[in-house]
Structure 1
Amino acid sequence: MQTIIAKFGGPAIATAEKIRNVAKKVIKEQASGINLVVVVSSMASIRRELRQFAHDITDEPSKREMDVLIATGAQMTSALLTMAIQELGGKAVSLTGWQAGIKTNDTHRNARVEDVDVKRIKSHLAQGEIVVVSGFQGITEVHDITTLGKGGSETSAVALAVALEAERVDIYSNVDGIFTADPQIVEHARMLPEISYDEMLEFANLGAHILHPRAVELAKKYEIPLVIRSNERDVDGTLIKGDVEMEKNLIVRGVAYESDIIRLTIGYDSYETASLAEVFHALAEHEINVDIIVQAVIDGIKPTISFTIAKEEFAESLRVLEVSKLSLGFSFADFEVGLAKVSIVGSGMVSNPGVAARMFARLGKEHIPVKMVSTSEIKVSVVVPQDEMVRAANALHDEFNLAILEISAS
């Protein structure tokens, strides 16, 4: 009998009515003749409330105790969903992350899964029960509770799929699947039936918050198929796997965007005092994520390093640079706000040169200025003024014919 892992996030289980709807869905899924393991997150409102309780008591709660506290949110959700399944006549049992056998390292608030012992899960599945696991959490070698950080519940689901040799992981969300662009800003965006792990990694890293990159990386490593599907509607969703059947003439598979980007620039009096390694080491020590990087070293002009960061990390970045100014050796720092990143993604770009030129030509035709550029084998990203972000995304979606199937079908 095949095993399926189903993961439900906070929005799908935010109310008692929604929990009952999920219970009906999973009972129906199990009735198709499968072993079913359900992984749940905590409700967003509960997470916020727990964090607020902690900060009402202390300004600096310990990471270990915060893990103990925050882990209870998903435990509550798993117990409520199990009750709902039982109330509807189904057989189910809830397990915490550690009861489910998820073992992690001891990095509190951002632990990594090291092993999964699924003996207990298998015993419950053998009894015909739906196993409901609290996601986002595990236990260390010395039995301390840990949480897995961003993407933790999805990572829990994939790790369980690997250990149980599951057929796939179904990720239920508030969207029908992965689209060629955000339907809220691109009118003719359409859902992709399939997408590769590498393409999904690019989308996830470029601001598509449906699936966290670490879960995709784990699925790719162990070749676990993922399906993004709707909480509300009965649609096939988007299958994420290794090799996909490329649609005819579709070199670019989608357009992604990220708003509220800030460009920081630091300058040096001479090349000898400029050190990329030292700058980014200082930022990394404070867990500041740097994205696009451009270094300019030209004879007769003072060298500069420009890089982009998210808006929420701006204040901390300035503080780190100011504190480290003498040791880093730069002479000035400047910044530009009101920027956005727009990207095109597609595995077909590897074997089709000229895609970037076509992108720049279309943006030039639209008189949209490009301030920075970053590329990989299957992605080209540009930094543009934020008030041009929507227009840029629509223009690129049109340029690479991403609405072609929708138009031909209408």
Structure 2
Amino acid sequence: MAKIVMKFGGAALASSEQIQEAARKAIAEKDKGLDVVVVVAAMGHTAKEMKMMVHQLTDDVSKRELDAVLSTGSQLSSALFAIALQEAGYEAVSLTGWQAGIHTDGMYRQARIDYIDISRMEEHFAQGQIVVIAGEQGIDEVHNITTLGKGGAETTAVALAIALEAERVDMYTNVDGVYTADPRYVPNAQKLQEISYDEMLELSNLGSHIIHPRAVELAKKFQMPVIIRSSLIESVGTLLKEEVEMEKNLVVRGVAFESDIIRLTVGYDAFSNASLADIFTVLAENRINVDIIVQAIIDGLKPTVSFSILKEEFAEALRVLEDSKLSLGFSFADFEIGLAKVSIIGSGMASNPGVAARMFDRLRRENIPVKMVSTSEIKVSVVVPQDDMIQAANALHDEFNLEQALYI
């Protein structure tokens, strides 16, 4: 029997009424004759409340115990969801991550899925049950509970769909699809019918919080179709796939932006002490994401390397660098706050030169200074003052005529 995986985030499960509405969506798919897997995140502010309770007890909690605590949030969601399905007259069962056969590495709070044993889920399908799985979690090789960190439920949903050879993943969110920009801040933003994995990956990495990059990467690797749709209203949504139709021959198909960017600069007394490989290896080993990188080697000045980092990872990055200062050989570290990143994305950019020049010219005409630049085949990102972020996003959306493309 064909299978479908449905993922619901915490905002879609914040009340009993919302859980019942989400359950009705799962029932509708079951009534089509599909085997249905539902992946749920923790409800609302459950994770924050749990962390507060932990920190009332200690400021030095072990990562193992913290994962054990945090895993209960999505377990609660899954049990309540299964109860709602049962009350509606449908056979359903809730499973924790380890009961669902999700095996991970041993990196607490940021675990990665190693493999999934689908045998128990198949047994429940044979009994005609809807399977509701607690997202964001699994079990390591020594049977400790692990959590997957940001994007964990979305990544779980895609990984399960791949393991089960499902038809697709439906991601239910608080938006009705992917737009050319965030419509809350760019009034002329338009919805996309389709978007490529590569474009969605760039949007996700560059500030769009609709779906986590980890989930997009996994979907792309295994060519798993994903539909982004609303948990609040009935809508077609936006389909993620490998190749898409180019609406009205748009070269740029989206504008993304992200606030609270910090520029961290590390300086060396001599070029011989500087090793980009060493510094970024240390950061990577601690799973700290670095984005735009600029190295400066100028005669008469101390060499430096600057990189952008999210505000939430800043304290951990400083700690890691300070702990490794002797081995890395740098003499000082400095930082600049009050920055934002604004990006344009489009698969058509690879074969259309001059896009970056148009971007820089429009920002110049808007009197918005550019502090850092990063490019790839399908995106250009700039770091600008945070106070100019929304103006820059709207100006670039206008510059590339994204409001003229009507999507349904």
Which category of TM-score, normalised to the shorter sequence, fits these structures?
A: over 0.9
- SS state at 1:217 partner: helix
Is the CA contact 1:188–1:406 (under 8 Å) kept in the aligned structure 2?
no
Give how far 1:33 is off.
2.3
Q: What CA deviation, in whole Å up to 9, does each residue of 1:235-264 have, x standing for no partner?
A: 011100111112222011100001111222
Is the CA contact 2:158–2:218 (under 8 Å) kept in the aligned structure 1?
yes
Question: Counterparts of 1:193-232 in structure 2 under 5 Å?
Answer: 193-232=193-232
CA distance in 1, matches of 2:139, 2:320: 34
| Matching residue of 1:390 | 390
Question: Counterparts of 1:241-256 in structure 2 under 5 Å?
Answer: 241-256=241-256
Superposed CA RMSD: 2.1
- SS state at 1:406 partner: coil
| Matching residue of 2:153 | 153
Does 2:192 match 1:192? yes
Runs of 4 or more above 6 Å deviation: none
| Matching residue of 1:18 | 18
Amino acid at match of 1:277: A
| Matching residue of 2:277 | 277
| Matching residue of 2:366 | 366
Give how far 1:321 is off.
4.8
Give how far 1:123 is off.
2.3
Is the CA contact 1:179–1:190 (under 8 Å) kept in the aligned structure 2?
yes
In structure 2, the CA distance between the partners of 1:331 and 1:101, relative to structure 1 (3 Å rule), is closer
In structure 2, the CA distance between the partners of 1:307 and 1:107, relative to structure 1 (3 Å rule), is closer
In structure 2, the CA distance between the partners of 1:62 and 1:301, relative to structure 1 (3 Å rule), is closer
- SS state at 1:143 partner: coil
Give how far 1:285 is off.
5.2
Q: Give the TM-score taking structure 2 as reference length.
A: 0.94
Amino acid at match of 2:215: A
Question: Counterparts of 1:100-115 in structure 2 under 5 Å?
Answer: 100-115=100-115
Give how far 1:300 is off.
4.0
Q: What CA deviation, in whole Å up to 9, does each residue of 1:149-178 have, x standing for no partner?
A: 221111111111011110000000001111
Is the CA contact 1:253–1:346 (under 8 Å) kept in the aligned structure 2?
yes
| Matching residue of 2:177 | 177
Is the CA contact 1:75–1:96 (under 8 Å) kept in the aligned structure 2?
yes
Q: What CA deviation, in whole Å up to 9, does each residue of 1:260-283 have, x standing for no partner?
A: 112223334443333323333444
Q: What CA deviation, in whole Å up to 9, does each residue of 1:377-398 have, x standing for no partner?
A: 1110001111111111001101
CA distance in 2, matches of 1:75, 1:323: 36
Is the CA contact 1:200–1:216 (under 8 Å) kept in the aligned structure 2?
yes
Question: Counterparts of 1:5-404 in structure 2 under 5 Å?
Answer: 5-284=5-284, 286-318=286-318, 320-321=320-321, 328-404=328-404
CA distance in 2, matches of 1:51, 1:293: 33
Q: Which moved more, 1:97-106 or 1:208-217?
A: 97-106
Q: What CA deviation, in whole Å up to 9, does each residue of 1:58-116 have, x standing for no partner?
A: 32222222222221211111111111111122221111212212122222222221221
Is the CA contact 2:93–2:130 (under 8 Å) kept in the aligned structure 1?
yes
Is the CA contact 2:247–2:405 (under 8 Å) kept in the aligned structure 1?
no
In structure 2, the CA distance between the partners of 1:265 and 1:96, relative to structure 1 (3 Å rule), is closer
CA distance in 1, matches of 2:298, 2:382: 22
Give how far 1:328 is off.
4.2
CA distance in 1, matches of 2:92, 2:322: 55
Q: How many residues align?
A: 408
CA distance in 2, matches of 1:392, 1:377: 21
Q: Which moved more, 1:48-57 or 1:88-97?
A: 48-57
CA distance in 1, matches of 2:48, 2:336: 32
CA distance in 1, matches of 2:44, 2:262: 28
CA distance in 2, matches of 1:30, 1:37: 10
In structure 2, the CA distance between the partners of 1:79 and 1:338, relative to structure 1 (3 Å rule), is same
Does 2:2 match 1:2? yes
Give % identity.
65
Give how far 1:210 is off.
1.4
- SS state at 1:298 partner: coil
CA distance in 2, matches of 1:3, 1:24: 17
Q: What CA deviation, in whole Å up to 9, does each residue of 1:285-331 have, x standing for no partner?
A: 55443221111223344432222122233344445555655654445
Q: Which moved more, 1:258-267 or 1:173-182?
A: 258-267
Amino acid at match of 2:406: E
Q: Which moved more, 1:29-38 or 1:318-327?
A: 318-327
Q: Which moved more, 1:298-307 or 1:16-25?
A: 298-307
Give how far 1:133 is off.
1.0
Is the CA contact 2:261–2:308 (under 8 Å) kept in the aligned structure 1?
yes
CA distance in 2, matches of 1:391, 1:245: 29
Is the CA contact 2:191–2:406 (under 8 Å) kept in the aligned structure 1?
no
- SS state at 1:97 partner: coil
